[in-house]
């Protein structure tokens, strides 16, 4: 099946795409929604501009659609992008990285239903700790690109998701109930390498900020290896 993968730049969207590839499907294009609204429920993530580099690294075309990010209206922009994917790349289905967000998934499911497309969410309700271990063991290189909940502070920004990271998240989860995969918006991630990337992304320059309990790791310059 020819699949369009919704791409935020983070681990969940790219792992979901990888799962589709693993099970015999073709990622015909990525679809990125660039929201100008940092409060967007659906689409805003740090380093969203760099999905272009990820698509290039994977050798997969990218459809980019900008949105003002107004609640519900941004869905029209998503519909436009999906329609473009259907028209240009013959999409038969969409894959999302949704893990627990009914808000996000139900809206994407409705659009897919309207357009007669399959909708896949292979990470849906997964065991988050097992998922993080799969990311590491299957060769994903992922860094923390934003923190938004206690006790995650500026020391976490730029950290690689590896076994020690997973162990720390397990400890924190017990005490603070932070979702191990960051599904509650506790942290955001950025993928530098994936098993289906032909090239790795090297981060050259970054700018970090942290204030009022939230912080970001903005990649200001990066290139393909």
Partner 1 sequence: MILIVDLTDPDILVLFDEFVSPIQRIVHQCGYENQVVRIESVKIPPSCTGIIICGTALADTWYRSHHLMSLLNGWTGPILGICAGMQMLLTETGGETVFLTDIGMISIRSTDMGRKDILLNGKDEFSGYALHKYTATLSSHWIALAISDITVQMVKHCSNSWYGALFHPEVRNEWIIERFAALTMPPDYGYE
The answer to whether residue 117 forms part of the interface with partner 1 (CB under 8 A) is yes
The answer to whether residue 123 forms part of the interface with partner 1 (CB under 8 A) is yes
Residues 6 or more apart whose CB falls under 8 angstroms from that of 1 comprise: 25, 26, 92, 93, 118
Residue ranges with strand state E in 48-177: 62-67, 93-95, 118-120, 141-147
CB of 94 to partner 1, least distance (A): 11
Give the pairing of strands 187-193 and 141-147.
Answer: antiparallel
Q: Which is nearer to partner 1, 125 or 211 (CB)?
A: 125
The answer to whether residue 72 forms part of the interface with partner 1 (CB under 8 A) is no
Q: Which of 89, 120, 156, 165 binds partner 1 (CB under 8 A)?
A: 120
x-marked contacts with partner 1 along 13-42 as a string, rule CB under 8 A: ------xx--xxx-----------------
Separation CA 46–CA 67 (nearest Å): 15
C-beta atoms surrounding 225 within 10 Å: 11
Residues 6 or more apart whose CB falls under 8 angstroms from that of 118 comprise: 1, 92, 93, 94, 112
Q: Which tokens belong to 113?
A: 């239903």
Strand 118-120: give its sheet, edge to edge: 62-67, 26-35, 2-6, 93-95, 118-120
The answer to whether residue 79 forms part of the interface with partner 1 (CB under 8 A) is no
Q: Which of 45, 51, 104, 121 binds partner 1 (CB under 8 A)?
A: 121
CB 30 within 8 A of CB 7: yes
The one segment of 39-47, 75-83, 111-119, 183-191 that binds partner 1 by CB under 8 A? 111-119
The one segment of 62-70, 118-126, 141-149, 185-193 that binds partner 1 by CB under 8 A? 118-126
The answer to whether residue 106 forms part of the interface with partner 1 (CB under 8 A) is yes
Counting residues that bind partner 1 (by CB under 8 A) gives 25
Q: Which is nearer to partner 1, 71 or 221 (CB)?
A: 71
Q: List interacting residues with partner 1 (CB under 8 A).
A: 1, 19-20, 23-25, 93, 102, 106, 109-110, 112-113, 116-127
């Amino acid at each position: 099946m020819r699949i369009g993968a919704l791409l935020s730049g983070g681990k969940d969207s790219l792992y979901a795409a990888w799962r589709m590839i693993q099970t015999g499907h073709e990622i015909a294009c990525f679809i990125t929604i660039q929201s100008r609204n940092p409060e967007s429920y659906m689409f805003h993530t740090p380093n969203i501009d760099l999905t272009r580099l990820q698509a290039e690294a994977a050798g997969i075309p990218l459809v980019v659609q900008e949105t003002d990010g107004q609640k519900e209206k941004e869905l029209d922009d998503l519909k436009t992008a999906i329609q473009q994917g259907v028209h240009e790349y013959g999409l038969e289905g969409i894959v999302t990285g949704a893990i627990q967000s009914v808000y996000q998934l139900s809206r994407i499911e409705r659009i897919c239903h309207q357009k007669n497309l399959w909708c896949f969410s292979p990470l849906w309700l997964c065991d988050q700790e097992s998922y993080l271990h799969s990311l590491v063991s299957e060769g994903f290189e992922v860094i923390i690109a934003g923190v938004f909940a206690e006790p995650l502070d500026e020391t976490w920004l730029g950290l690689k998701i590896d076994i020690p990271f997973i162990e720390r998240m397990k400890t924190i989860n017990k005490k603070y109930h932070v979702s191990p995969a960051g599904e509650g918006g506790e942290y955001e991630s950025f993928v530098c390498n994936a098993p289906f990337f032909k090239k790795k992304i090297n981060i050259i320059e970054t700018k970090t900020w942290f204030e009022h309990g939230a912080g970001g790791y903005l990649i200001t310059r990066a290139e393909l290896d």
